[in-house]
Amino acid sequence: MMATKIAMSWRGCACMAVMVAVGAVTHAVAQSYPSRPIRLIMPYPAGSSSNDIMGRALALRLSAQMGQQIVFDNRPGASGTLGTEMVARAQPDGYTLLLGINGPLAISPSVYPKLGYDSVRDFAPVAMVALVPYIIVINPSVPAVNIKEFVALAKAQPGKLHFASSGSGGTPHLCGELLKTVAGIDLVHVPYKGGAPAIVDTVAGQTQMFCPGVTGALQFVKQGKLRALGLTVLKRSPLLPDLPTLHEQGLTGFDASSWMAIVAPAKTPRPIVQRLSEEIARALNHPEFRNFILQQGSEPTIMSPEELGTYIRSEIDKWAKVVKLVGLKVD
């Protein structure tokens, strides 16, 4: 009996020693990271959107906080999936990160059957950075001043109104498709090669509706060249505080926002993920950086790695339903 007690006591001490050792290693990893420059991959071209602008600002902010350079690296191609896959295949050491955008991470899994990565399996969520609201705008010649009137007009003229997008499978396209589904209306999709020609033709009246990011449409709305019907997020934007959301106007739960987050390759050590998450939260709480994001028409948003992982999975599920309804697939 005494021998058994001694053995059990020895095993307990050994387990405690292992736990202490693991804790010491974990602490050491967190303290020594980063010891060299970190590469932040942006899967779209330079200057392509407010995400690129905010991502560069975040890299500068984190460089100052962490005492190590964050190299911003644009790797565009295949609707953002090329750069995203690059990070999925990178070493999980915390020195290659992805500026994760909802298109490649949440929409592409349903659009591309042969996608070279799994958005859940191949990435370690780190932190949300910003939610990017979209806005429903129409040509001023359309006789509607709010979303209810536009829906009524569309129901009275099924298949007669056209909505523009920056290309099939992007957030502006699926925003329009989601509106069609939720409101029960029939609109004709007109895809363009980018947001600029889409908004130009909506201003010109070639198409009647468009769903761009707030910053892309703001100047046209203020000039009276486009009429804003509502925001496609659940909260109002500080750039247009008097403009109600579609949710407020009766399309309950309507949310077609974009977002920007930081993710790392799967199996990145937890201490590194946690360190990065804390540093990004610190940046988002910095008044100057926070105001900069707000000026871009976006909402600074703090999420833990666990919360971000849950959010990404919910976004994948949401857009999968829309893509299925549309029947959209790209080889």
pLDDT in tens, 45-100: 887 778 899 999 999 999 999 999 999 999 998 889 999 999 999 999 999 999 99
- 315 and 262 co-located in one domain: yes
Using alpha carbons, select from 278, 275, 300 the residue that is nearest to residue 288.
300
Q: Model confidence at 215, in pLDDT bands (50, 70, 90)?
A: confident
- 140 and 227 co-located in one domain: yes
pTM of the full structure: 0.82
- 300 and 221 co-located in one domain: no
Average predicted confidence (pLDDT) for the chain: 90
18 in any annotated domain: no
Phi, then psi, of 83 in degrees rounded to 5: -65, -35
Using alpha carbons, select from 314, 263, 244 the residue that is nearest to residue 122.
263
- 121 and 267 co-located in one domain: yes
- Distance (Å) of CA 305 to CA 50, 260, 301: 23, 14, 12
For residue 202, the model assigns a pLDDT of 97
23 in any annotated domain: no
Distance separating alpha carbons of residues 214 and 241, to the nearest angstrom: 12
| Domains identified in the chain, total number | 2
| CB-CB contact of 66 with 34 (8 Å) | yes
- 276 and 295 co-located in one domain: yes
| DSSP conformational letter for 134 | B
- 146 and 216 co-located in one domain: yes
Does 21 score more than 50 pLDDT? no
The enclosing domain of 279 has a CATH number of 3.40.190.150
Radius of gyration, alpha carbons of the chain:
23
- 127 and 269 co-located in one domain: yes
Q: Based on the number of CB atoms within 10 Å of its own CB, is 5 exposed (0-12), middle (13-18) or buried (19 or more)? A: exposed
Q: What is the pLDDT of residues 225-271, one digit of tens each?
A: 999 999 999 888 888 899 999 999 999 999 998 899 999 999 999 99
SS3 letters for 157-220? CCCCCEEEECCCCCHHHHHHHHHHHHHCCCCEEEECCCHHHHHHHHHHCCCCEECCEHHHHHHH
Q: Model confidence at 303, in pLDDT bands (50, 70, 90)?
A: very high
The enclosing domain of 192 has a CATH number of 3.40.190.10
- 171 and 190 co-located in one domain: yes
Strand arrangement of the beta sheet that strand 96-101 belongs to: 70-74, 38-42, 96-101, 258-265, 123-132, 299-300
Look up the domain containing 194 and give its range. 135-231
| CB-CB contact of 64 with 105 (8 Å) | no
Instruction: Supply angle C-alpha 237, 238, 243, rounded to 5.
Output: 55
Residues in Cβ contact with 119 at an 8 Å cutoff, skipping those fewer than 6 apart: 104, 105, 106, 108, 109, 312, 316
- Distance (Å) of CA 56 to CA 51, 61, 93, 257: 8, 9, 21, 21
1 or 303, which is more confident?
303
Domain boundary among 168, 197, 231: 231
